[in-house]
Chain A
Amino acid sequence: MIRTRGLTRSFTRQKHTIEAVRGLDLEVAAGELVAFLGPNGAGKSTTLRMLTTLIAPTSGTAEVVGHEVVRERAAVRRSIGYVGQGNAAGHQQRGRDEIVSQARAYGMSRSAAHARAEELLAAFDLTEHAGRPVATLSGGQRRRLDVAIGLVAAPPLLFLDEPSTGLDPQNRVNLQEQVRRLHTDLGTTIVLTTHYLEEADALAGRVVVIDHGEVIADDSAPRLKSALGDLVSLGFADPAHAAAAAARAERFDGAQVEVSGTDVAIRVAHGRDLAGGLVADLAAAGTPVSRIEVVGPTLDDVFLDLTGRSLRESTPADQPDRSELEGAAA
């Protein structure tokens, strides 16, 4: 469905060139639901903008639904759906009109376009709001309308760029449910970008972690997390007991152990299974554990492990935002 080789995009601003995407090699098969995860400025949206023909690559190649993104732009545009970060519908327009107009752009007859609009409005619970100016809709209604417009042609491949940004938690959950159903019911291949870890974790069968324009991990969320291991935190009454526990924990294969006063943090594969035995051993050796906590890894832990930075706090100061970059490049 998607195939890129050495896909690169750089922007020049004030004689300073920044590579937003660096030599991306990527394959997405039909039916996959892939999340591009990374901090702001990582290159997720730039990648999506190249794949949707909005910007041309500086070098490398990309094929989308069998069409090359530079030479066959029109064919790519006919084959994909796209929901950008902004609102798909003009704020002075009415929702129904925008869906009909989009359907006509895909070559549907007037009657088919209207039928399609009603079908999508009903599916996204927007029928009663379809005649109102888009500017008067709530944020959640507008976002549902964005997705409805993106699905007009029921494309085999749908791109969603930060679909949940700006939505309240309730609407975020609703949207995720709709995306999941699109994928399971229609078999639509979906590529979404997000910096919401929970969203990537909950939705995607495959997570591509991008940082500084490069893919730094590409696997399913459970596998990425299991490779990292659980975090076992132990508390002791005496620092000497903590040191003894750390020495014992270091015998576990691949364990990363940190001691801080009376606390010990152990990152180890299958930590949940090992914790019970460890506590029993320590008690038998006269170093009773006063506190124990086992936490499974999150995707943020994966990102932290890969980059040394937390995704939640990571908005690199040296990476200007897209509008700045593209403004400079134009």
Chain B
Amino acid sequence: MSTLRTVPARDPGFLADTWNVMTRELRPVLRQPVSVLFAMVQPLVFLALFAPLLPDGGPGGSALQWFVPGIVAMTALMSASFTGANLTEEIVTGSHERLLVSPLSRPAQLVGRALKEVVPMLMQTAIILVAVTPFSFDLHLGGVLVGMLVLALLAVGIGALSFTLALVSKEQQWLFWTVQQTLIFPLLLTAGVLLPLDEAPRWLEVASHVNPLTYVVEAERALFTGAFPADTVLAGFVAAGVTALAGLLIGVRAMNRSS
């Protein structure tokens, strides 16, 4: 003990803090990559049991070509929406409080956590693509890469909102899961992830139009066929970008108020 030295503190700055938080969040994922499969269970079940029921002959050709982009978006959404559960655990056990008292900037604590969501999203997408490419799915790498950019924005936004929900829920983990589960399926279904909404009633059409995930899924479907329709892709970017911006702003506000 007597060897312990006094270390002067200095401010590393927002970017270094963000990197510190992001790498801290990533370490458990990279040490146990199998953990990314947790959020993929439902999407993979849908992929295995639902896709064979869909008829071929859509805009992309095979049913799989139409279905996979939706499943990729679904996985990104589910994974990012689950992520706040890790924060609720840290709130309960105490490490969140330690970070709040540390010199780490509060905005960096939210942004770093949200940015980390990009990595599991990429890992999950790679797993899905590896699983479906041997079947009737044509891999268009350029479109997929642009699609990943859109999904990265979405994952950051949804991740930030998930952390916000965790901060609001505090020790009440049941509240986090109730809200998360209540919101997730209406978002997925009104975005047409599982079924096309062409024949949907008017109210469902309206719900679909106000759901940002709809535009993301449409952009992914176009990009995964190797097409780059400017209006669809732009709408996807705007929807994901607005989600990311709104999520980060709301999340940073919640983190600043966290105690």
A86→B94 contact, CB < 8 A: yes
Q: Which residues of B contact A146 (CB under 8 A)?
A: 94, 98
Task: Considering the complex, give the chain A residue whose CB is closest to the CB of B100.
Answer: A54
- Residues A93 and B1 in contact in the complex (CB < 8 Å), given A82-B101, A86-B93: no
Stretch at the interface among A181-189, A197-205, A221-229, A266-274: A181-189
Instruction: Judge if B42 is at the interface, Cβ distance under 8 Å.
Output: no
**Distance from A105 Cβ to chain B, minimum over Cβ atoms (Å):** 5
Residues of B within 8 A of A98 (CB): 24, 95
A97 and B259: CB pair below 8 A? no
Chain A residues with CB below 8 A from B11, complex form: 74, 78, 107
B10 at the interface (CB under 8 A from A): yes
- Report the Cα distance A291→B11, complex, angstroms: 67
A86→B95 contact, CB < 8 A? yes
Residues A87 and B95 in contact, CB atoms below 8 Å apart: yes
User: Digit string of A71-86 for contact with B (CB within 8 Å is 1, else 0)?
Assistant: 0001001111010111
Chain B residues positioned under 8 Å from A265 (CB to CB): none
Please report which residues of chain A, range 144-197, place their CB below 8 angstroms from some CB of chain B when the two chains form the complex: 146, 149-154, 156, 178, 181-182, 185-186
User: B202 within 8 Å of A by Cβ?
Assistant: no
Which of A32-40, A116-124, A212-220, A277-285 has 4 or more CB atoms under 8 Å from chain B?
A116-124
Flag if B95 contacts A186 (CB, 8 Å). no
Report B-chain residues with C-beta under 8 Å of the C-beta of A91: 89-90, 93, 95
- Distance of A305 Cα from B5 Cα, bound (Å): 43
Contact string against A for B residues 90-125, beta-carbon threshold 8 Å, 1 for contact and 0 otherwise? 101111011011111100000000000000000000
Partner of A92, one of B3, B10, B28, B103: B28
CA A154 to CA B97, docked complex, whole Å: 19
Q: Which of B24, B97, B105 contacts A54 (CB 8 A)?
A: B97
Q: Assess the A104–B12 pair: CB atoms within 8 A.
A: yes
Which B residues are in CB contact (< 8 Å) with A85? 94
Q: Please pick, from A84, A92, A106, A119, the residue contacting B4 in the complex, using a CB distance under 8 A.
A: A119
Q: Distance (Å) between the CB of A289 and the closest chain B CB?
A: 50
Q: Is the CB of B9 within 8 A of A330?
A: no
Question: Which among B4, B12, B20, B24 has the highest number of chain A CB atoms within 10 Å?
Answer: B4
CB closest chain-A residue, reference B172: A327
Give every chain A residue within 8 A of B6 (Cβ-Cβ): 154, 156, 186
A256 within 8 A of B: no
Q: Are B7 and A123 in contact (CB under 8 A)?
A: no
Q: Which of A52, A178, A330 contacts B1 (CB 8 A)?
A: A178
| Docked complex Cα distance between A291 and B213 (Å) | 84
B171 within 8 A of A: yes
Contact B103 A89 (CB under 8 A): no
From A84, A94, A120, residue with most partner B Cβ within 10 Å = A84
Chain A positions within 8 Å of B168 at CB level: 330
If the complex has contacts A101-B24, A327-B170, are A123 and B4 also in contact, measured as CB distance less than 8 A? yes
| Chain B, 68-84, CB within 8 A of any chain A CB | none
Once the chains are docked, how many angstroms separate the CA of A281 from the CA of B253?
Answer: 75
Contact of A105 with B1 in the complex, beta carbons under 8 Å: no
Chain B, 1-58, CB within 8 A of any chain A CB? 1-7, 9-12, 16-17, 20, 23-24, 27-28
A102 and B7 CA atoms in complex are apart in Å by 12
Say which residue of B4, B86, B101, B103 sits within 8 Å of A186 (CB atoms): B4
Are A181 and B12 interface neighbours, CB within 8 A? no
Contacts A85-B94, A181-B1 given: A116-B7 contact, CB under 8 Å? Answer: yes
Is A55 engaged at the interface, CB distance under 8 Å to the other chain?
yes
* A129 at interface by CB-CB < 8 Å: no
CA distance A149 to B102 in the complex (A): 10
Residue A326 lies at the interface, judged by CB distance under 8 Å to chain B = yes
A106 and B101 in contact, given A54-B259, A89-B95, A91-B93 (Cβ under 8 angstroms): no
Interface residues of B (CB under 8 A from A): 1-7, 9-12, 16-17, 20, 23-24, 27-28, 86, 89-90, 92-95, 97-98, 100-105, 168, 170-172, 257, 259
Given contacts A106-B102, A123-B1, A181-B2, list 18 more A-B pairs with CB under 8 A. A49-B259, A53-B101, A74-B11, A78-B10, A86-B92, A87-B93, A88-B98, A90-B93, A93-B27, A93-B28, A104-B16, A105-B102, A105-B103, A107-B11, A107-B12, A178-B1, A185-B1, A330-B259
Q: List 9 A-B contacts (CB under 8 A).
A: A74-B103, A77-B103, A84-B94, A86-B98, A101-B24, A105-B17, A150-B98, A323-B171, A326-B259
